[in-house]
Structure 1
Amino acid sequence: MAAHPPLPSEMPDAVMIPLLDVVASAGPGAENPMPFELARLPFPRVWLDRLGVPERYARFIDARGDSMEPTITEGSVCLVDTRVDRARRDGVYVLVDGNSVRIKRIAIGWQGALTLISDNERYPTDTLAAPDAEALRVEGRVVWAGGEI
């Protein structure tokens, strides 16, 4: 008889993280007009602590597309630290433009410029000068997608 995966009640060291009805495109952007909580997924508390994300700011979202491969693969569930509302250091972020949501690596440049990078080298980078970079809406930093980022 095959063993079943542990249930949340069998994982006393787990926290239940909201999975939002948000699909972030690892590409051109995905529409997410009114995101809501679909479910809650267990995540080891010790991992959340190691990532430095307080439970109340942790959210899961789905990633679609291949522009962030190999870091984030198509269909990955990504853990986002929603405290982050600006790119203050290099990292992978959730970006919102209207209803469109994207995941991109951001490199902080000279004089406030930001470079939006796709980890898949088949896709070009995009550099935003300071005025456009300041208008970029950051909704969180991706800290885990099947592994720490």
Structure 2
Amino acid sequence: METVATRLKLARENAGLNLSEAAKKLNLSPSAVHQWESGTTAPRKKALEAAAKIYNVSPVWLNHGENPSFGAPIVPWEHPSELTDDFVFVARCDIRVSAGNGIVVYDECEQDEPQSFRLSWLKKMGMNPDNVRVVYAHGNSMAPGINEGDSLTIDTSRRDVKSSHVYVIRIEDEVSVKRLFKRPGGGLEVQSDNKDHPTRQFTAEESQNIEIIGEVMHKQSTRI
């Protein structure tokens, strides 16, 4: 059943924000935003209106589920004829990207079961459909923002590291999703959002062996 909590989570994800980014814009802690989305606490009127403004949705829809003012970027479909011209297909890659200690790549992208996206949303996010792929998270090292089974929309053209952004990376035969930070001298810091997982630091020379597959632009959660 749809609730204020589930609508808050959906609106945040459609805005392309993770918990930390949304919390920063709302002047809250990530745990406070997570409590809203889990239904543990409920935002007051002013906080709800602030969230609606940041997520670019109607506060009436957030509160009551009426008059939605946005379209979800990822849309379920059974046959292409159900989709309008505002939709494009993106390759769904059957790679489970580790949000843990890293997993071995074992499959390629499946072209016969693509994901449908709103073209208008991709343009708003500055993404070319040809560079977009969907992969799946495995593990809990990026929790609570990214969890087991979440689908991640990545832009494979965005490979220049911007500190604190989240990327899908390959180190040798292991592919994982991590938050990256630039280090003085050209090195990289590879960080997990889950503090139970250690941060790894690489020199400029070692960083040459890290392949940036793409930046994570959106997350679709399988959890309620």
TM-score tier, shorter chain, comes to 0.7 to 0.9
Q: Percent identity?
A: 30
Distance in 2 between residues matched to 1:64 and 1:70, nearest whole Å: 13
1:80 aligns with 2:80: no
In structure 2, give the amino acid aligned to 1:46. S
Distance in 1 between residues matched to 2:136 and 2:105, nearest whole Å: 11
2:187 to 113, 118, 121: 113
In structure 2, give the amino acid aligned to 1:141. E
2:94 to 9, 16, 21: 21
Any stretches of 5+ residues in structure 2 without a counterpart?
Answer: 1-75
Q: Deviations over 1:81-129 (max 9, x none)?
A: 0113342544111111233211100011211121111011211111111
Task: State the TM-score, normalizing by the size of structure 2.
Answer: 0.59
Q: Deviations over 1:46-69 (max 9, x none)?
A: 221122110100000011111111
Distance in 2 between residues matched to 1:90 and 1:78, nearest whole Å: 17
2:211 to 119, 122, 137: 137
Whether contact under 8 Å (1:86, 1:137) holds in the other structure is no
Structure 1 residues 75 and 67, CA, compared in 2 at 3 Å: closer, same or farther?
Answer: same
Report the number of matched residues: 143
1:10 aligns with 2:86: no
Any stretches of 5+ residues in structure 1 without a counterpart?
Answer: none
Task: Using CA pairs under 8 Å that are at least 6 residues apart, name the structure with larger relative contact order, 1 or 2.
Answer: 1
Larger radius of gyration: 2
Q: Which residue of 1 aligns with 2:137?
A: 63
Whether contact under 8 Å (1:81, 1:140) holds in the other structure is yes
Q: Which structure carries more helix by proportion?
A: 2
Whether contact under 8 Å (1:67, 1:118) holds in the other structure is yes
Q: Which residue of 2 aligns with 1:46?
A: 120
1:32 to 105, 111, 117: 105
Task: State the TM-score, normalizing by the size of structure 1.
Answer: 0.86
SS of the aligned residue for 2:205 comes to helix
Distance in 2 between residues matched to 1:83 and 1:98, nearest whole Å: 20
